[in-house]
Amino acid sequence: MIKKAAVINDLSGFGKCSLTAAIAVLSVMGVQPCPLPTAILTNQTGFKNHYCCDFSENMPRYTEMWQKNNAEFDGIYSGYIANKDQVDFIEDFIRTFNKSYTKVIVDPVMADNGRLYSAYNKTTCQRMKELAKKADIITPNLTELCILADEDYDSVLKKADDNDFFEYIEKISQRVVFHSHMQVAVTGIKKGDYIYNGFFEKGKTDFYKSRQYGTNFSGSGDIFASIICGSVLNGVDTSSSVSKATDFLEEVIADTVKENYEPNHGINFEKFLYKLSQNT
């Protein structure tokens, strides 16, 4: 029977991110995405102009109707929240639908390149940190890892040229392994001409390297987290899932930068999606 994942995230008209990315990636990987919007945006917030419709008051209807329809999920995967109160809803949703076989994946979308997104503040970040503790797998970028670990991002970046940089990242990540079965997949660890993605759980660390092309692209973190979700629900171990996501993004971004691209519009992942259906 096909696996099902409840995907709690925003829907952006432009940016190839959030639900747009997750629906495409999970579908091609043979997982049914069941979208639950946290907000509906004309385009992602990196654009100079955007409009956001907070979907908070409608979200409880999903829980109500899905319960009445006896919905069950193999995965619960959350991303962007429009306000801190949505954390309460997601925690309730997890309590309602989490089964012994359900994987809870939290992408703690808060910031990038050392800066908080416009909708976030310290209080919202603290609530996201509490939500992350409910997860089996979390997928922060390096900035979000620093927030979760109460580390200063700029101080971490200054260590990038040190020989023990990766040991330092491992130390930070192990502090964010909030409970014994939690796994952490960290994206966007930059060193030299390469970007590393890391996998961490108690007693294990793996790093996967890819060449850096261009700048930061909208949606790349969402694609990464969605590949992790799809792979894990298909029975692939999380470390191998991080490797798969790393290789996929490197190829797609390398192709994207060949064109006159605009990072806010995201990467040209569509024509490569078929590769995610192989050996899922």
Q: Which domains does the chain have, with CATH numbers?
A: 3-268 (3.40.1190.20)
Contact between residue 226 and residue 244 where contact means Cβ atoms under 8 Å apart: no
Average pLDDT over residues 126-143: 96
Contact between residue 142 and residue 159 where contact means Cβ atoms under 8 Å apart: no
What is residue 52's DSSP assignment? Answer: E
pLDDT digits (tens, 9 = 90+) for 76-121: 999 999 999 999 999 999 999 999 999 999 999 999 999 998 888 9
Average pLDDT over residues 232-255: 97
52 φψ region: left (φ > 0), alpha (ψ -120 to 50), beta (else)? beta
d(CA 27, CA 4): 10
Q: What is the pTM of this model?
A: 0.96
The residue written with tokens 């409910």 in the block is: 134
Contact between residue 232 and residue 105 where contact means Cβ atoms under 8 Å apart: yes
pLDDT at 28 over 70: yes
Burial of 110 (0-12, 13-18, 19+ CB in 10 A): buried
Report the DSSP pairing between strands 204-211 and 194-201: antiparallel
pLDDT digits (tens, 9 = 90+) for 150-194: 999 999 999 988 889 999 999 999 999 988 899 999 999 999 899
pLDDT of residue 279: 63
Residue of 224, 223, 175 lying closest to 201 (CA atoms): 175
d(CA 231, CA 267): 21
Three-state secondary-structure class, residue 185: strand
Cβ neighbors of 135 (< 8 A, separation 6 or more) are 104, 105, 106, 182
Give backbone dihedrals phi and psi of 278, rounded to 5 degrees, phi first.
-90, 125
Give backbone dihedrals phi and psi of 52, rounded to 5 degrees, phi first.
-120, 125
Q: From residue 243, how far is each of 71, 91, 172 by CA, in Å?
A: 32, 29, 21
pLDDT of residue 84: 93
Confidence of residue 1 (pLDDT cuts 50, 70, 90): confident
pLDDT of residue 178: 85
pLDDT at 261 over 90: no
pLDDT of residue 280: 61
d(CA 85, CA 89): 7
pLDDT digits (tens, 9 = 90+) for 34-69: 999 999 999 998 898 999 999 999 999 999 999 999
